[in-house]
Amino acid sequence: MPNIYWYCFLAIIGVGGAAFAIYQKRNIAKLSTFLAFFLFATCVTWIGEFVVLGLFNSYAYKTGIYTDPWAENLLGHLILNSTFYPGTAILVAAYSLGFLWIFLITVIYLLVEYLFLKLGIYEHHWWKYYMTGLCIFTYQILTKFWFSKINKIRRQGVLRISTFYFIGFVLLHYPIPIILLLGKGYYNVNWVQDRYLSSTMFIFSYQLVETLALVFFVCVLKQWFWKLVPFIIAFVGQSILVNRQILVFQDGWNLFYTMLIYY
C-alpha cells in the first residue's frame, strides 16, 4: 500500500470522528464553537511541530509523494496536524473524557507511531516514544480545558482574543504550504539549505507576527473601518516581499492569485 494512504486513513478517522462527535453533542455547543475549537486545536499542533520538527528535526514523515525530505515532512505535517490531532481533541472535549480515556487515546497514538515506524513511513531522529506520550496526554488535557472555557464565553476578553489569534493564524497560514508543495512559489531567504524548510521557517514566523496585527485591528479596535487594515497589511507585506525578490513565483503563479487565497 502506498505510504500516503496510511496518512489519509488517519485523516479520515480524525475528521470522521470529529464530525460524529459534533453531531452527537450538538446540544452542548454551537457548530461555530466546535469549528473554532477545531481550528484552535489545529494551531496548537502546528506551533508545537514547528518547534520540534521544523527547528529541531526530531523525526521525519515519509509520505512517498516527494523526493525532498522537507517537502515530505511538510505534507505529513499538514495531513496529520490538520485532521487527526484536532479530531481526537474534539472527541475528548465534546464527550468531556476523563484521564483514563485520555490515557487510552495516548496509547492508541503510540501504537500508531509504532506501526508507522515498522512500516517505514515515519522515522525517529532523536525523538522517543515517551515524548510522544507526554505531548499527546498534555495536548488532550489542555485542549479539553480550553474548550470548556470558550464554550462559556459570552463577551470579549483575553481568552476570546487569544482563541481568535490561533484561528486567525491557521486561516492566514494554511494556503502557503499548499503553494509551496504545488511548486507555485517559495520564499528566497536561504535561512537553511533546504528551500521547503527555509520558506516554512520564514513565513511561519512572519505570519505569527502578522496575526497579531489581525487580532489587534479586528478584535481590539471597535470601529468597523479598522477591520479593513489587515487586508491592506497583507497586500502591502506580500508586495514588499515580491519587490525584494524574497517571494518568488513559479509556473504562472502571481501576486494576484496569492491575494485571492489570502482574502
pLDDT, position 154 = 66
The answer to whether residues 179 and 148 belong to one domain is no
Choose one of 107, 137, 152: the last residue of a domain.
Answer: 152
The answer to whether residues 31 and 89 belong to one domain is yes
Residue 157 lies in a domain: no
Q: Grid coordinates in use for 175?
A: 494556503
What phi-psi label fits residue 170: left (phi over 0), alpha (psi between -120 and 50 degrees) or beta?
Answer: alpha
Residue 115 lies in a domain: yes
The answer to whether residues 87 and 179 belong to one domain is no
pLDDT along the chain (263 residues), means of 10: 94 97 94 96 97 97 97 98 97 96 98 98 97 98 94 77 94 93 95 96 96 91 88 92 95 89 72
pLDDT, position 263 = 65
Total domains in the fold of the chain: 2
Residue 207 lies in a domain: yes
The answer to whether residues 143 and 205 belong to one domain is no
The answer to whether residues 108 and 4 belong to one domain is yes
Residue 158 lies in a domain: no
pLDDT, position 155 = 66
pLDDT, position 12 = 98
The answer to whether residues 253 and 128 belong to one domain is no
The answer to whether residues 37 and 104 belong to one domain is yes
Residue 160 lies in a domain: no
Residue 63 lies in a domain: yes
Residue 170 lies in a domain: no
The answer to whether residues 12 and 142 belong to one domain is yes
Residue 102 lies in a domain: yes
The answer to whether residues 254 and 144 belong to one domain is no
The answer to whether residues 188 and 127 belong to one domain is no
The answer to whether residues 127 and 22 belong to one domain is yes
Choose one of 90, 117, 152: the last residue of a domain.
Answer: 152
| Contacts of 102-110 spanning 24+ positions with Cβ under 8 A | 102/137, 102/140, 102/141, 102/144, 103/137, 105/136, 105/140, 106/133, 106/136, 106/137, 106/140, 109/133, 109/136, 110/136
The answer to whether residues 145 and 21 belong to one domain is yes
Q: Residue 212: give the domain boundaries.
A: 175-263
pTM attached to this predicted model: 0.94
Choose one of 86, 120, 152: the last residue of a domain.
Answer: 152
